Amino acid sequence: MTYRLITTNNNHPARLSAGRSHTVTTSSSPSHWTPAGFEEEALSARFTDLHPALGKRQAIIESARCLYCYDAPCIKACPTSIDIPTFIRRIHDDNLEGAASEILDANILGGSCARVCPTEILCEQSCVRNQGDECQPVLIGLLQRHALDNAKFESHPFTRAAHTGRRVAVVGAGPAGLSCAHRLARFGHDVVIFEAEEKAGGLNEYGIARYKLTDDFAAREVEFLLEIGGIEIRHGQRLGDNLAIAELTREFDSVFLGLGLGTSHSLGLTGEDAPGLMAATDYIKVLRQSSELNVLAVPKHAVVIGAGNTAIDIAVQVKRLGAESVDLVYRRGEAQMSATPHEQDIARANGVMIHTWARPLAIDSNTDGQLSAMQFARTRVEDGRLIDSGETFSLACDGVFTAIGQGFDDASLSDVHAAGMARSGAKIEVDTMLRTSLPGVYAGGDCIARGQDLTVQAVAHGKLAAEAIHHDLMLKVEAA
């Protein structure tokens, strides 16, 4: 039977969408928010692929633009070190299975990364075509997607090594945890993933803009990854609640923590609990899990506080859901925004107004206690410090989404054993091979202070940690 890595139709197995469907109701959003009134078909059309896939001829033509550099800078720019020239050459030779295998060998979540990676600041920025009189870099992200979407395998492209008899616990079924688990399974270890949510995928399942990862792509990618065998996922397992590191270290030979960031930062303003103000990640999570977009409650006039990809994602999606106006406000200038210029352009193209050099000053509520406006102070830089200019302004709104960063949930490391783990600020401290200060415990992804908070970076962490775990476990075997 032919095994297709990623299908593009909507006839997916029912078991992949068996989780509960979520909608934003009065229990999770203000009662004065209501659906915009659009037909489901019209709304769904607004959440199709941000970048349509390449056709076969387009992919062949684009692959011919690659110069197949000997010392390819695009490889160095990729956190997972995919051999980009090699997989592109295989596309040009119409060897999609070979191209896909090359990608997946380095990045088992290459399908989602092809869709969500900021290639404009990674591989494509480093492409030698991205200079001089060239029109544009080679479209590496779209070529990667073409290979993975269209490759067909008779079975999973990787096999497990001989069984080692070792068991590894992975906490978190996000990109870091999944990457680590798959690599460990390839090495012949048995892996148990402990996941708090009812679905695996982490950020890919719950936190990416719906128009970037459409349909149930994240679930299908997890299903493909598990085809390697030797990986079990246990849902409803939350570290610091019904799971403890001390327990895991006793039961397993090694532990990997791919915890991500579980708490959203607050503005620190009086009245922040007013109906109409919520964390952007909370709304995005509900939006991604909703089976009916036309029942989602949405503010008429929304304000987004933040400057990163999450801020852009929530601003664009709320506008597409039918908000009459969406204003994104950031305390510094556009050059300091962590969202790339490409992401900023997406926001503007969708009618989002971007206000810079302004910080939240106060929250205004009406007589019913509902959010009615946000006051802001104009800012400027003086002697290297950000200060208020003395000027203020107000934006009328019935909804505010905060996207000013997320923090590490300290409750997850609250047990006595975990309390001894070295921390670097709010995050877990690790060495060059992602070992924590606790013997046999490793960590990667957003919970460590290393690299960028990107899906592809988390995948790279998981892979590196798996290699370190395997190395250390085999040393113990040899020593015995």
Percent of the chain with pLDDT over 90: 80
Cβ count near 29 (within 10 Å): 22
Check if the beta carbon of residue 77 is closer than 8 Å to that of residue 122.
yes
> Average pLDDT for residues 180-196, to the nearest whole number?
98
**Predicted local confidence at residue 418, as pLDDT:** 84
pLDDT tens track for 121-135? 999 999 999 987 888
User: Could you give the residue ranges of the DSSP H alpha helices within 107-256?
Assistant: 110-116, 123-126, 140-150, 175-186, 203-206, 217-226, 245-251
Cα(444)–Cα(465) distance, integer angstroms: 7
**Predicted local confidence at residue 382, as pLDDT:** 95
pLDDT tens track for 396-428? 999 999 999 888 788 888 888 888 899 988 889
pLDDT tens track for 440-467? 999 999 999 876 779 999 999 999 999 9
Interior angle at CA 351, CA 347 and CA 356, nearest 5: 60
The phi and psi torsions of 328 (rounded to 5 degrees) equal: -105, 125
Of the pLDDT bands very low, low, confident and very high (cuts 50, 70, 90), residue 437 is very high
- Model pTM score: 0.91
**Predicted local confidence at residue 28, as pLDDT:** 58
**Predicted local confidence at residue 410, as pLDDT:** 80
Cα(424)–Cα(64) distance, integer angstroms: 46
**Predicted local confidence at residue 413, as pLDDT:** 85
> Average pLDDT for residues 46-72, to the nearest whole number?
94
Specify the 3-state DSSP secondary structure of 21.
coil
Distances from the Cα of 131 to the Cα of 20, 136, 142, angstroms? 48, 8, 20
> Average pLDDT for residues 214-227, to the nearest whole number?
96
Nearest by Cα to 471 from 435, 418, 421: 435
> Average pLDDT for residues 68-94, to the nearest whole number?
97
Q: Name residues whose C-beta falls within 8 Å of residue 445's C-beta, 6 or more positions apart in sequence.
A: 172, 174, 175, 176, 177, 258, 259, 260, 458, 461, 462
**Predicted local confidence at residue 57, as pLDDT:** 97
Check if the beta carbon of residue 209 is closer than 8 Å to that of residue 319.
no
Q: Name residues whose C-beta falls within 8 Å of residue 424's C-beta, 6 or more positions apart in sequence.
A: 448, 449
Cβ count near 382 (within 10 Å): 9
What is the fold of 52-153?
Fumarate Reductase Iron-sulfur Protein; Chain B, domain 2 (1.10.1060)
Side chain identity, residue 453 = D
Check if the beta carbon of residue 354 is closer than 8 Å to that of residue 328.
yes
Domains 167-262+408-479 and 264-405 share a fold: yes
CATH superfamily of 264-405: FAD/NAD(P)-binding domain (3.50.50.60)
Conformation bin of residue 188: beta by default, left when phi > 0, alpha when psi is -120 to 50 = left
Side chain identity, residue 113 = C
Nearest by Cα to 244 from 446, 421, 407, 406: 421
Lowest mean pLDDT among 6-20, 353-367, 420-434: 6-20
CATH superfamily of 167-262+408-479: FAD/NAD(P)-binding domain (3.50.50.60)
pLDDT exceeds cutoff 50 at 470: yes
In the chain, what are the domain boundaries?
A: 52-153, 167-262+408-479, 264-405
pLDDT tens track for 243-283? 999 999 999 999 999 998 878 899 999 988 889 999 999 99
Check if the beta carbon of residue 412 is closer than 8 Å to that of residue 259.
yes
Check if the beta carbon of residue 354 is closer than 8 Å to that of residue 333.
no
- Beta bridge partners of residue 403, listed in sequence order: 306
pLDDT exceeds cutoff 50 at 295: yes
Lowest mean pLDDT among 9-13, 68-72, 196-200, 297-301: 9-13
Q: Name residues whose C-beta falls within 8 Å of residue 130's C-beta, 6 or more positions apart in sequence.
A: 124, 136, 137
Nearest by Cα to 114 from 456, 458, 464, 459: 456
